[in-house]
Amino acid sequence: MKYNIRITKVKESHLSEVDFNNIPFGRVFSDHMFVVDYKNGEWIDPRIEPFGRFGIHPAAMALHYGQAIFEGMKASKSYDGKPMLFRPERHAHRINNSARRLCMPEIPEDLFLDGLHALIAIDSNWIPAQEGSALYIRPFMFANDEFIGVRPSESYKFFIITGPVGPYYPKPVSLLVEEKYARCAVKGGTGEAKAAGNYAGSLLPAKLAQEKGYDQVMWLDSNEFKYVQEVGTMNIFFVIDGKIITPALDGGILQGITRDSILKIFREKGFQVEERRITIDEVAEAYKAGKLQEVFGAGTAAIVSHVSRILYGELLMELPPVESRKYGELAKAEINGLRSGRIKDTHGWIVPVKSPVAMKVG
């Protein structure tokens, strides 16, 4: 470890209060958090503290102008009990892509990774053992200047918080194709960044979709409302006539790390995979011709989640039962198998959590 991370541990863990067989997503938090401040052009005082509330000035710039970014990643336990991370360096890299787009300072990748390893090592008992469950990891950064006025902040706070989670979507998801509202994540916009504001813009359409009985929105491109982009919470895959098709990264779509992993796995297994523009009409035509075999989403939180039905205008596309889904099930089994160590990692994606021996304990 290059950085001296100051560590203050909780007096008493609240781990025993958690029912690991019934974990609601995003509501349970582990004992500690990693914090580091950016002031006067440098990252200072990296520390691990008891998880808890912190003070914020009412004029903190993130609250007004939305300079806030985040990542979503997971730690799991291998079948023999070792804590593991999935492609952590890709997340360190991606948060800095987001930082650049929002005019925020990059966090040195080794600081991100040292903080991450130290935190997960300390809270490794919080990693659920159940397959499909994991310790969700939420790194985030926000602008902290106490100032009213539009300019980039000069001070920031970076945190990593964690919490055990079960599946984000415990059952297949239903989608409504959004033909009226655009994501703020358009090409040339902030779509490739994991910017908090991208998600804020998705909430009203998602709420309207839920009122109509659909779990989520399927986004189309914001210029022509023609090309499929992604679902608010995950990248999307279609299986049409034996081909696995996913929208190409066009600057408006999140560069999903689960998406990338699944594409590599399918290609290595010899499946026909296409990353390209795909219109919603092509999907509808394939459905009408009986060639739309499967639709599934992929993301850190969602892992691989099957889509049960899609409403596009008047057309309701009902997809086959999960038992017949060979592609989505294969993708899910591969990702879960890698995370549990039951499938051999030939890519160097699975990284054992380092022991924090070299850190200073405050």
As measured in angstroms, the least distance from the Cβ of 72 to ligand COI is 2
* Residues 272, 238 contacting (CB under 8 angstroms): no
As measured in angstroms, the least distance from the Cβ of 140 to ligand COI is 10
Q: Which is nearer to ligand COI, 133 or 293 (CB)?
A: 133
Q: Which is nearer to ligand COI, 24 or 242 (CB)?
A: 24
As measured in angstroms, the least distance from the Cβ of 130 to ligand COI is 19
Q: Which is nearer to ligand COI, 233 or 340 (CB)?
A: 233
Cα-Cα-Cα-Cα dihedral sign, residues 159, 168, 17, 83? negative
Angle at 42 between CA 40 and CA 43, to 5 degrees: 125
As measured in angstroms, the least distance from the Cβ of 7 to ligand COI is 26
Q: Which is nearer to ligand COI, 72 or 252 (CB)?
A: 72
Q: Which residue has the tokens 């009409």?
A: 281
* 3-state DSSP assignment of residue 325: coil
As measured in angstroms, the least distance from the Cβ of 59 to ligand COI is 27
Residue 31 CB burial class (10 angstroms; 0-12, 13-18, ≥19): buried
Residues 6+ apart with CB under 8 A from 232: 199, 202, 206, 216, 217, 219
* Residues 295, 237 contacting (CB under 8 angstroms): yes
As measured in angstroms, the least distance from the Cβ of 14 to ligand COI is 23
Binding site for ligand COI (CB under 6 A): 72, 233, 299-301
Position closest to ligand COI via CB = 72
Cα 3 from Cα 88, distance rounded (Å): 17
